Amino acid sequence: MTEPIVKYTDVHKYFGDLEVLKGIDLEVMPGEKLSLIGPSGSGKTTIIRMLMTLEQPTSGVIEVEGEPLWHKEVNGQLVPADEKHLHKVRGKIGMVFQHFNLFPHMTILKNCTSAPVNVLGISKEEAKERAVEMLEKVGLADKMDNYPAQLSGGQQQRVAIARALVMQPKVMLFDEATSALDPETVGEVLEIIRDIAKEGKMAMILVTHEMEFARDVSDRIVFLEDGVLTEQGPPEEVLGNPKSERLKSFLERFIQTSTSN
């Protein structure tokens, strides 16, 4: 049996007095495509932000390829990780943000080559080669000398995807990657993500409100409510035959809002 690439064990997260995650146990297999769905405020985003080291879990352990992320083993004991350890493990993870977060002072090409050169230490030529390949994949190689502000939201998000891909992560996180987009550009971004998912090698965790899309790309869908994973399974099962009342009403609300659009 293969080992999970990401494993959450009894992970809790508090923001002040508010318990956002109440004991998360979750495993993601290499190459698996997992979608996290649930009402806003349920903690979906926090789950992936902890994996990207943007939030620190209050308790519990997150492992990446069997290695604790926020902890370090010293003499058989788990102690809080230092920046050096985080830096090492974090390199396996990539993330696409809701608001793209492209670097406005760099051209599109530079956005995609700066991290490979500075972080991975590869040559400028190789970085450019990789970047151009990824920009072609997202259909924006012709924009590489432009600045982010000269692109539409959808185009910026496609660049952000290319930028993350150039780093060749083993796990890619998508944090509501289409929520900040104009409706007419949502499709082009979903299309790209779908293509990447089909290639298969990389594990993907998607936080999304696009149910049809989640059904299409995911191997497994997890429903999260009030900081607890309440239901999970293959897309047909979770979306087609929800067991709990809460998931049922969540999905119904969803269908209503998407048909009224």
Q: How far is the CB of 193 from other proteins (least distance, A)?
A: 16
Beta bridge partners, 80, equal 71
Q: How far is the CB of 224 from other proteins (least distance, A)?
A: 21
Residue closer to other proteins by CB (options 220, 254) is: 254
- In terms of CB distance, is 55 or 133 closer to other proteins? 55
- The residue range among 58-66, 156-164, 210-218, 234-242 that interacts with other proteins, by the rule CB under 8 A, is 156-164
Q: Residue 213 has which token pair?
A: 């899309």
Asked if 70 touches other proteins (CB under 8 A), the answer is no
8 Å CB contact between 185 and 152: yes
With vertex at residue 223, the alpha carbon angle to CA 220 and CA 224, rounded to the nearest 5 degrees, is: 135
With CB under 8 A as the contact rule, the residue among 37, 62, 102, 214 that binds other proteins is 102
* DSSP sequence for 227-244: TEEEEEE-HIIIIIS--S
HSE, side-chain direction, 13 A CA sphere, residue 53 = 21
Binding of other proteins by 30 (CB under 8 A): no
Candidates 6-14, 125-133, 161-169, 212-220: pick the segment binding other proteins (CB under 8 A): 161-169
Q: Is 119 in the site for other proteins (CB under 8 A)?
A: yes
Rg (CA), the chain: 19
DSSP lists the bridge partners of residue 48 as: none
Binds other proteins by CB under 8 A, chosen from 104, 199, 201, 241: 104
Cα 33 from chain centroid (whole Å): 10
What residues contact residue 155 under an 8 Å CB cut-off, 6+ apart? 140, 143, 185
Could you say whether residue 118 binds other proteins (CB under 8 A)? yes
Instruction: Report the interface residues with other proteins, using CB under 8 A.
Output: 52-54, 83, 87, 90-91, 93-95, 97, 99-105, 114-115, 118-119, 147-150, 153, 156, 163-164, 167, 179-183, 257, 260-261
